[in-house]
Amino acid sequence: MLYRTLPIGLALTMALLPVTVLDAVAAEPPRVRLITTGGTISNRPGRRLSPTELVALVPDLDKLVETEIEEFSNVSSSAITLGQWLELARRINAVFDDDPALAGVVVTSGTDTLEELAFYLHLTVRHVRPVVVVGSVRRPETPGYDGAANLRQAFRVAGDAASRGRGVLVALNDQIHSAREVTKVDALHLQAFETRGYGMLGVVARDRIVYYRGLERRHTAASEFDIAQVEQLPRVDIVVAYQGATGDLIRASVDRGARGIVIAAAGAGATSSGQRDAIAYAYEQNVVVVVTTRTGSGRIAPRGPTLDEFNANDDHPQRIAGEDLAPIKARILLMLALTATVDLDDIRRMFAEY
């Protein structure tokens, strides 16, 4: 809600108005900034929709929020670079810094990499006001285009006071998810995003925004990651464990300059014998290795002093447990961690806290 100083004469006049009139004046729509990056939501056959055209597709939007629009880029999600990630986070931080009355920000993204961009912003936008990332599974002018409905939901979530302090949110298909936890679970269906294990944060209902739970992990305003002066994110690669896998990809990643490697291990952290030898080579080259699971859910815990049930090579002192983060999100956290430190204990703390 916005509050403005009124002239004395107008203030006295309003003091004599009925309460219902005063409520109508006070209930000024929240102001929300739309920052577009492209993606399927704007990928009309033959050309891409501008932010103005996107907003025009949303019915009755002016009754819900006061909109501002800004085009950051207009490309497919796979064409967004890590350099643009840095620019986008800096831009959102600047928008919030310069405009204390802005209720929130909506960011459009292609759904293929939406969860990656959202989690990156979750760690680098250092404000309590909501950033809501949104996209669509179907293109404009195709049957069942979901972009307009999803965008309307995102504006409502970004403008709602209850969204403050919940980190970066993802709003699609009437559901609200945390950027940390959400994942794309289907390539084509409208119900393409889920939060496995924990469930969604809330819903966009007909009458109001409803939240069911919050987050315990650090994010946004509580984040220690300051990318204001970061010129380039360090290279971190992901390698999947599978039956008979050699260590060639891990060695190649090390030799090509990766500063970190995330292992998408089988089950609770298993890798092949060839991969274990290559991981030892990565340790020798001071490359940080984080172990996650390829299963889609579950937590990889730090190893304790007695690990008889595990292979001894898995208990290397340089090993870092990825906790419950999916491999693609562990990569993002490791990239940001490496912009701040190379201390392994400090990086372990980050994986425990974020």
- Residue linked to tokens 């030892």: 280
Q: Output the six-digit token pair for 342.
A: 């190379």
Residues 6+ apart with CB under 8 A from 89: 120, 121, 124, 125, 227
Among 36, 40, 124, 220, which one carries the catalytic annotation? 40
CA atoms within 13 A on the CB side of 71: 14
Instruction: Give Cα 258 distance to the centre of its chain.
Output: 23
- Quick one: how far is CA 303 from the chain centroid? 28
With the C-alpha atoms ordered 159, 165, 166, 167, is the resulting torsion angle positive or negative? positive
Q: Which residues contact 6 (CB under 8 A, 6 or more apart)?
A: 14
Tokens of 296: 């889609």
CA–CA gap between residue 107 and residue 215 (Å, rounded)? 21
The answer to whether 36 is a known catalytic residue is no
- Residues known to be catalytic: 40
